[in-house]
A = this chain, B = another copy of it.
Amino acid sequence: MEKTITVLPGDGIGPEVMKGALRVLKAVEARYGHQFNVTEMPIGGKAIDETGLPLPSETLEQCKKSDAVLLGAVGGPKWDGMEKRPEQGLLQIRKDLNVFANLRPVKAFASLGDISPLKPELIENVDLIFVRELTGGLYFAQPKRRTGNEEAVDTLYYHRNEIERVVKKAFEIAASRSGKLTSVDKANVLESSKLWREVVNEMAKSFPEVKVEHMLVDNAAMQLVRNPGQFDVIVTENMFGDILSDEASMITGSLGMLASASVSEEGPGLYEPVHGSAPDIAGKNAANPLGMVLSTAMMLRHSFHMNDEADAIEMAVQEVLNANYRTSDIESKKGRISTTDEMVDQLIYRLDENAATATLLEVYV
């Protein structure tokens, strides 16, 4: 298959982890016979330095005509106190690409049990994904204002259409996984949650193979600590998703491992690691590339429907961790600390092996 990818390395450790992801992508390209046409463009602080704007129109145009966008990370102390902020580039591109659903998988890797705050028996089966509404609700709706020095108001508004499109996306993902969907709301108190729950119940009729449960947000916050293995797909509105997905990100013990996707109904999806630009370790070949690599696997799966290729990358990540290769954020007592490049070398070596084994199996079938 031929696909066009816009690559936005950004700032801090962004370029390093992106370099690793592109090497992995090259390996996938070669071994599965695809052609990925990659164009690199500036965003964030780098774009401010080069053009004065955190999201130059050339970058946005290139993204819009691509099949998918890979983003590293933006921001850093260099741009503190400037009028234009690197983060504006990120908010702007999410808005301009109209990516209304944020997908955040949380998967426990058995070999990382030692760095999780939770007991190993609670995380060994964790393999869940958040589907968070990303462009509506309390963070965006009007009125949002101060009245003098005394009063402040924010508004939690949802239109049925905003709920329907993200809920539909969640049902589709649930249908492609275990068929279990947990919808999180506060329907015992909030009008917007009552509408949310109605939409979920209506949509459920179109997905008879998906089993739906409703959970109140405070209970969900408890259950993610008590027994995260009970969840498969969790769909929720913007603010609840912000809080709960960040809570759940701690389950695996390292933000550096986490991938995310932000997708629209049509148009290219935006794939980026959950971690930030980590300016303190930038340029030191010390960053964990796995969040970016796993975001790339999400791109293959969700935008290109290349499930085998995504599986191969995720398998390689698991094997590298099992062999105790670790960056410092996921340090193990058993191994030494590897560089960013060494982690990627090990991934590529295993992608080769996987490909070799697969070829071998094909020959013998």
**Interface residues in chain A, defined as those with a beta carbon under 8 Å from any beta carbon in chain B:** 116-119, 122, 138-139, 141, 144-146, 149-161, 186, 189-192, 194-196, 217-219, 221-222, 224-227, 239-240, 242-244, 246-247, 249-251
Apart from A150-B160, A155-B155, A219-B246, list 12 A-B contacts with CB within 8 A.
Answer: A151-B158, A151-B160, A152-B157, A152-B196, A153-B191, A217-B242, A217-B243, A221-B246, A222-B250, A225-B250, A225-B251, A243-B243
A191, closest chain B residue (CB): B152
Question: Quick check: A151 and B157 within 8 Å, CB to CB?
Answer: yes
Cα separation A226 to B221 with both chains bound (whole Å)? 14
Q: List 5 A-B contacts (CB under 8 A).
A: A117-B226, A141-B153, A152-B191, A152-B195, A156-B156
Give the chain B neighbours of A195 by CB distance below 8 A: 146, 151-152
Residue among A191, A219, A243 with max Cβ neighbours from chain B (10 Å)? A243
Instruction: Report yes or no: B192 in contact with A152, Cβ–Cβ below 8 A.
Output: yes
Inter-chain contacts of A151 with B (CB < 8 A)? 157-160, 195
Give, as a whole number of angstroms, the nearest-CB distance from A150 to chain B.
5
CB neighbours of A196 from chain B (8 A): 152
Provided the pairs A139-B189, A217-B243 are in contact, do residues A153 and B146 lie with their beta carbons within 8 angstroms?
Answer: no
Check B250–A226 contact: CB distance below 8 A. yes
Q: Is the CB of A153 within 8 A of B150?
A: no
Q: Which residues of B contact A221 (CB under 8 A)?
A: 221, 243-244, 246-247
